[in-house]
Structure 1
Amino acid sequence: MSRFAVTYRIRATDAAEARARAEGIAYEQTVEVPPDVVPPGFVRDEIVGRIEEIGPDSDGFRATISYSPESAGDDFHQFLNVVFGNSSLQKGIRVIAIDPGPEIRRRHPGARFGVEGIRRMARRPEGGLICPVLKPQGIGAEEIARIACLCALGGADIIKEDHGLSDLRTAPFRARVEAVVAALDRAELETGRRPAYFATLPGPFERIEANLAFAKAARVDGLVVMPGLFGWGLVSRIARDEALNLAVMMHPSLTGPFVVSEGSGMDCAVIYGTLQRLAGSDLSIFPNVGGRFGFTEGDCRAIAKACLDPNGPGRPILPNPGGGMSVDRAQEMQAMYGQDVAYLLGGSLLRHGEGLGAEIARMRRALDG
Structure 2
Amino acid sequence: MRFAVTYRIFAATEAEARQRAAEIALEQTVEVPRDVVPDGYIADEIIGRIEEVGRESEATFRAVISYSPDSAGFEIAQFFNVIFGNSSIQRGLKVIDIALGATMQARHPGPRFGIEGIRRLAGRPTGGMIAPVLKPQGLGADALARIAYLCAKGGADIVKEDHGIMNQPMAPFRERVEKTAAALARAERETGRRALYFPSLPGDPQDMDANVRFARDAGADGILIMPGLLGFGIVARIAADERLAMPVMTHPSFLGPYVLSPDTGFTHAMMFGTLQRIAGSDISVFPNVGGRFGFTVAECQSIADACRSTSGPGRAMLPSPGGGMSVERAGDMARMYGSDVVYLLGGSLLRLGDDIGTGITAMRQALDEVEREQG
Relative to the length of structure 1, the TM-score reads: 0.99
- SS of 2:199's equivalent? strand
Deviations 1:290-347 (A, max 9, x none): 1111100000111111110111110000000000100111110111111100000011
**Which residue does 2:372 correspond to in 1?**
none
**Which residue does 1:147 correspond to in 2?**
147
**Which residue does 1:240 correspond to in 2?**
240
**Which residue does 1:55 correspond to in 2?**
54
- SS of 1:281's equivalent? coil
Letter in 2 for 1:285: V
**Which residue does 1:3 correspond to in 2?**
2
**Distance across 2 between alignment mates of 1:92 and 1:346:** 37
Determine if the alignment matches structure 1 residue 25 to structure 2 residue 37: no
**Which residue does 1:207 correspond to in 2?**
207
How many pairs does the alignment contain? 368
Please list every run of at least 4 consecutive aligned residues from structure 1 whose deviation after the TM superposition is greater than 6 angstroms: none
**Which residue does 2:114 correspond to in 1?**
114
| C-alpha RMSD of matched pairs (Å) | 0.7
Determine if the alignment matches structure 1 residue 290 to structure 2 residue 290: yes
The Cα shift of 1:61 comes to 1.2
**Which residue does 1:263 correspond to in 2?**
263
The Cα shift of 1:189 comes to 1.6
The Cα shift of 1:257 comes to 0.5
**Distance across 2 between alignment mates of 1:310 and 1:90:** 32
**Distance across 2 between alignment mates of 1:81 and 1:258:** 14
The Cα shift of 1:17 comes to 1.1
Deviation larger for 59-68 or 133-142:
59-68
**Distance across 2 between alignment mates of 1:185 and 1:278:** 32
The Cα shift of 1:173 comes to 0.3
The Cα shift of 1:216 comes to 1.5
The Cα shift of 1:215 comes to 1.1
Q: Give unpaired runs (5+ residues) of structure 1.
A: none
Relative to the length of structure 2, the TM-score reads: 0.97
**Distance across 2 between alignment mates of 1:332 and 1:211:** 39
**Which residue does 2:373 correspond to in 1?**
none
The Cα shift of 1:203 comes to 1.8
Deviations 1:209-261 (A, max 9, x none): 11111112111110100110011000100011010111100001100010000
Aligned pairs (5 A) from 1:1-369? 2-58=1-57, 59-369=59-369
**Distance across 2 between alignment mates of 1:203 and 1:93:** 31
Deviations 1:107-131 (A, max 9, x none): 0001110000100111101000000
- SS of 1:286's equivalent? strand
- SS of 1:200's equivalent? coil
**Distance across 1 between alignment mates of 2:100 and 2:297:** 26
Letter in 2 for 1:114: G
- What percentage of residue pairs aligned between the two structures are identical? 62
**Distance across 2 between alignment mates of 1:206 and 1:357:** 38
